[in-house]
Structure 1
Amino acid sequence: MFLSIEDAKALATFEEIAGLPDSEVQRYIDRADGWIRRTTGRYDLIDTLDEDIQQDLRLATIMLVEYIWYWDQEENKEQAISRDASVKIGSYTYNKINTAWHGDTGNNELDTILQSLKYKPTAFLFRTSRGNSL
């Protein structure tokens, strides 16, 4: 959990989200947290002490809460199949053209945060010698 219910209600740009019951807001937070874990491949982020990463996680969570809530609305689902190139969601614009099927949201800031948090394994390359004699 990267964001509390109270913070989500206070930071949401949609008044409707702030008016939801706590259990409903928690459901959206849980869905956003799951999205972050699946997209980044990181299940250890909850343990991070890095303030910058924590701030990015809070920002990504509130943006995803708004994003998920927005697309849960029936009229917005209908708009998704329209030919419009972009849609305004709360305080940011969702660009349908830039969205790929593999999880990008179309919001450059959110996608950049999620991309920066992705697990990046490092390969340790080593070389052995056979004891070449001189």
Structure 2
Amino acid sequence: MFITEQEIKDLTSFSGVSGLSSEKIKHYIERADSWIRRATNSPAMELTDNVMTQKDMRIATLLLVEYLWYWDDAETKESAFSHEETVKIGSFSYNKAEPGERTGIQELDSILEHYVYKPYINGFFRVSGPSRK
């Protein structure tokens, strides 16, 4: 986990999120962590000691908890079928995701894209010297 339940309650801009029980917040944090692992293709992201990575993942987890909570609401799901391109609730805004985007939240999508694990294999099957006949 990149963030605690209390930090979620303190930092969220939604009263609905801050009013959730600890068990519900823990559930959303677990879902957010799972999303981060899948989106970054890095099953061991939480093991990093890099301070900036930890801060970014903390922000991403907070945004994902809010995003997941928002989309779990039945009214939100119904309004998603409207043809509005942008939905704004308080300080939280959502743009319908374009192809290739993950959530439609630019900050969150940028964080997740930055940390996508891209293995670098250089010369794995490389042969040096003349080839044999």
Report the TM-score, using the length of structure 1 for normalisation: 0.90
Structure 2 matches for 1:32-51, cutoff 5 A? 32-51=32-51
> Considering only aligned residues, what root-mean-square deviation do their CA atoms show, in Å?
1.8
2:10 corresponds to 1:5:
no
What amino acid maps onto 1:54 in structure 2? Q
Worse-matched range after superposition: 84-93 or 23-32: 84-93
1:85-130 CA distance string (max 9 Å, x none): 111255332111x433x66100111001000111011021244112
| Runs of at least 5 residues in structure 2 that lack an aligned partner in the other structure | none
Match of 2:98 in 1: 99
Q: Residues of 2 paired with 1:90 and 1:68: CA distance?
A: 16
Determine helix, strand or coil for the equivalent of 1:93.
strand
Instruction: Select which of 111, 114, 117 maps to 1:116.
Output: 114
Match of 2:14 in 1: 14
Equivalent residues, number? 130
What amino acid maps onto 2:116 in structure 1? K
Report the TM-score, using the length of structure 2 for normalisation: 0.90
| Runs of at least 5 residues in structure 1 that lack an aligned partner in the other structure | none
